[in-house]
Amino acid sequence: MKQKLRSLMSRQKWVAIAMATIVLAGVLSVVSPVFLTLSNFQAILVQSSVTAIMAIGMTFIILTAGIDISVGAILFVTSALFAQLYMDTESYFLAFSVTIVCATLLGALNGLLVVKFRISPLITTLATYSIYRGAAIHLTGAQNIPVPREMGFLGNGRLFGIPVPILILAALLVIGVYILSRTRLGVYARAIGNSERSANETNLPVDRSLIVIYGFSGLVTGIAALILIARVGGLQSGIGIGIEFTVIAAVILGGTKLSGGSGTVVGSVIGAVFLVLIDNGLNLMNASPYIYDIVRGSVLLAAVAIDRYSAVRQQASLEAQRAERIGLESEPNTAEFVPHPEHVTAK
Amino acid sequence: MQSVINFLKTYPALQIIAVLLVGFSLLSPYFLTAGNFEALLGANAVVLIAAIGMTVVFLAGGIDLSISTVISASAVIAGLVMAQTDSVVAGAVTAVVVGLMFGALNGVLIGYFRLTPFITTMATQLIARGIAFVLSQGIAVKGTPYWMLDFGFMLWMGIPAVTLVALGLVVVSALAMSQTTWGRHVMLVGSNQEAARHAGINTRFVEFSVYLFAGVMAGAAGFISIANLGNAIPGVGDTLLLIIIGAVVLGGTGMTGGEGSVERTVLGVAILAMLTNGLNLLGIPFYDQLIIQGVLIFLGTYLAMRLGSRGRA
């Protein structure tokens, strides 16, 4: 049983964060009687929907060994665009479609810049972060713009008794899982993350895939922006500040490797929920809001440390097994640099 | 002539500086005045000191996102100590020790436990920010000694004292990078960690040491920020990350390690400092400045990469 669980955890990285989430939920339900109610459960999911949706897009980017620091700015600029457009035209259709298209294009622009200029994604998106944020404030003149009350349906409404943000999150989760596990784009994303050079040499459409992946992240961020602005009730200047790090943290907690190549969409969404659970727990304990950052940071550190520790142990046990097979106590480390005779003769 | 062109090619940042200097001098009569440069230099001492640390981490092939909020944490803790003791020396020592401790934490986790620099420092960034806000209750720490307030406005040879402190740290760091074994080890680890390891360099210690160094610089920057602003502000570092990283890459130090130098970062800081100052003089609103800054960081990095080094920024 223990062995089975361990092998499941090493193959499916998201199982670890799922178990951590269940344990945390268990602790919280003991601490607070209101925790284990359907309405609180729904509230937690609704609260995590924005970061969870953004984490779906970020998962693909991190799978390619990339990063997008500008997602918070895209969230802000698309919120601003929607609020401004609706105020000017009073047309939902126009405001919605332009916002979603723009969000996708801004994401794709990140991808295009990364591909064309060969500057690291971190620097590229740090620059576009500044540009997008400036553009958004330029657009709205640093005003807070309210959105109409009907908009609230996207943030607080229900369909078939389920809150709308949860339905949108679920739909995007299914789409994300499908793209990653059943389409070429998913395979390309992992291939690029494992080795961009090999992906190029095997003639995979690396550039096009990267643009599409960054564009997809922009798209889901645009959808998240609509939910966020509907929940908040209007455009506020603080929207999206620092959210990129929460999103990245959710993806990493979900078991996706920052170096690319391995990870799951499900894990990222659970990671986002986990982060909200922590906030929820701190809230139940009446903790100072300033403590939140310290706890989040410590949890993130613990997660990467545990991940590293288990990777080291796995490596050690693999090496021990191999040594047992060959009948050695342990292999001397220098051996790997002596060329194998076969390789020498083959040349 | 040829040597001048070569010089400009090695330091593409100088071209941008020349353009900014000429452009802003023509556009604003106030730009090229002693008073303006005093203000410009004084306001950027914190960024310069922090950028030194980031440069050395970049040179070793790492990244330290926590520098920005370690500035805040060390400023707040030093501010509290100074409010209690009224001793500037105690404050300075505290700030540096706080930075040192964060640097040591990063260094041990990254160098010895082999955790990913980006995630590790992202986590310590959150922790440092939380500590700064918890200890200060989210407001500026009052009770800064008078000497500290004077120090912020003090001029030595017509140059703000805080800037001279920053430049002094630049000289010491540049010498450490170019003249000591440690500096050469940092460059080697940055350009090829495997090769460095096989050459017998203690790569783990080198990695540990660069984060320690960056922490100390962040602590010093935090202390100087009190002199600049008059109080220890818990949010002082929050917005600095983009500027610090931007200045380092604009100077021509790549993120892949082994390429660049501390001197170059001075040029990068100068570019962003002149840009902000000049645009302010021209009355450009801050949001348009954000756009211009982003474009300049991107294009400048591209230029530095194409002309200066062959590495990937």
Q: Touching check for B75 and chain A: CB below 8 Å?
A: no
Cα–Cα dist A81/A138, whole Å: 11
Are the Cβ atoms of A137 and B129 closer than 8 angstroms? no
Would the CB atoms of B114 and A308 count as touching at under 8 Å? Answer: yes
Is B60 in a helix, a strand, or coil?
A: coil
Give the pLDDT confidence score for residue B285 in this predicted structure.
87
pLDDT band per the 50, 70, 90 thresholds, residue B308: low
Mean pLDDT of the residues in chain B: 88
Evaluate if residue B212 carries a pLDDT over 90.
Answer: yes
Which chain B residues are closer than 8 Å to A126 by Cβ? 242, 245-246, 297
Q: What is the pLDDT of residue A346?
A: 42
Distance (Å, whole) CA B13 – CA B207: 28
Give B289's contacts in chain A (Cβ within 8 Å).
134
For the residues A102-114, what does the mean pLDDT come to?
94
Q: Is the pLDDT of residue B77 over 90?
A: yes
- What are the tens digits of pLDDT across the range B220-232? 999 999 998 888 8
Query: How far, in Å, CA of B66 to CA of B109, rounded?
Result: 13
Would residue B20 count as lying in a domain?
no
Q: Give chain B's domain count.
A: 1
In a domain, B286, yes or no: no
By the CB < 8 Å criterion, does B284 face chain A? no
pLDDT at A260: 81
Task: Give A263-296 pLDDT, tens digit per residue.
Answer: 889 999 999 999 998 888 888 788 888 888 898 8
Residues in chain A with CB shorter than 8 Å from the CB of B313 are 119-120, 123
Nearest residue on chain B to A307, alpha-carbon basis: B115
pTM here?
A: 0.87
Residue B313 has pLDDT above 70, yes or no: no
Asked if the model's pLDDT at residue B175 lies above 60, the reply is: yes
What pLDDT, on a 0 to 100 scale, did the predictor assign at position B252? 85
* Cα of A334 to nearest chain B Cα, Å: 10
Higher-confidence position of B8 and B180: B180
A304 with B116: Cβ contact below 8 A:
yes
Query: At A235, which helix (H) or strand (E)?
Result: strand A234-235
Q: Which residue has the higher pLDDT, B251 or A151?
A: B251
Token code pair at residue A226: 């609509």
Query: For residue B19, what pLDDT band results from cuts at 50, 70 and 90?
Result: confident
Interchain pair B287, A134: CB under 8 A: yes
Structural domain of B194: 34-238
Q: Nearest CA of chain A to the CA of B153: how many Å?
A: 31
- Interval A37-61: pLDDT, tens: 788 888 888 889 999 999 999 999 9
Higher per-residue pLDDT: A14 or A165: A165
B270 in contact with A, Cβ within 8 Å? no
A119·B301 Cβ contact <8 A: yes
CB spacing of A120 vs B293 below 8 angstroms:
no
Yes or no, beta carbons of A290 and B293 under 8 Å apart = no
Q: Which residue has the tokens 């040499």?
A: A201
| Residue B168, token pair as written in the block | 């002094």
The model's pLDDT over A178-232, given as tens digits with 9 standing for 90+, comes to: 999 899 988 888 888 888 888 888 888 888 999 999 999 999 999 999 999 888 8
Q: Would you say residue B307 has pLDDT above 70?
A: no
For the ranges A19-28, A153-162, B166-175, B279-288, the lowest mean pLDDT is seen at: A153-162
Residue B279 within any structural domain of the chain: no
* Out of B120, B242, B285, closest to residue A130 by CB: B242
Q: Is the pLDDT of residue A329 over 70?
A: no
pLDDT at residue B42 in the model: 84
| Cβ neighbours, 10 Å, residue B206 | 22
Beta bridge partners of A146: A234
> Between A30 and B52, where is the model more confident?
B52
Q: How many alpha carbons lie under 13 Å from residue B71 in its C-beta half-sphere?
A: 32
Domain for residue B134, yes or no? Answer: yes
Interface contact A258, partner B, CB < 8 A: yes
B282 lies in a domain?
no
Whether B213 has a pLDDT exceeding 80, the answer reads: yes
Phi–psi pair at A332, nearest 5 degrees: -65, 140
Tokens (6 digits) for B192: 């090829």
Which residue matches tokens 């680890």?
B189
Per-residue confidence (pLDDT) for residue A50, from 0 to 100: 92
CB B268 within 8 A of CB B250: yes
* Cα–Cα distance measured from residue B192 to residue B196, given in angstroms and rounded to the nearest whole number: 6
Residues 226-255 of B with CB under 8 A from A: 242, 245-246, 249, 255
Higher pLDDT, residue A8 or A189: A189
The per-residue pLDDT for B122 is 92
Question: Mean pLDDT over residues B84-97, rounded?
Answer: 91
- The answer as to whether B101 is a domain residue is yes
Nearest to A296 among B126, B245, B255 (CB): B126
> Is B178 domain-assigned?
yes
**pLDDT number for residue B177:** 92
Q: Could you tell me which residue, A140 or A209, shows the higher pLDDT? A: A209
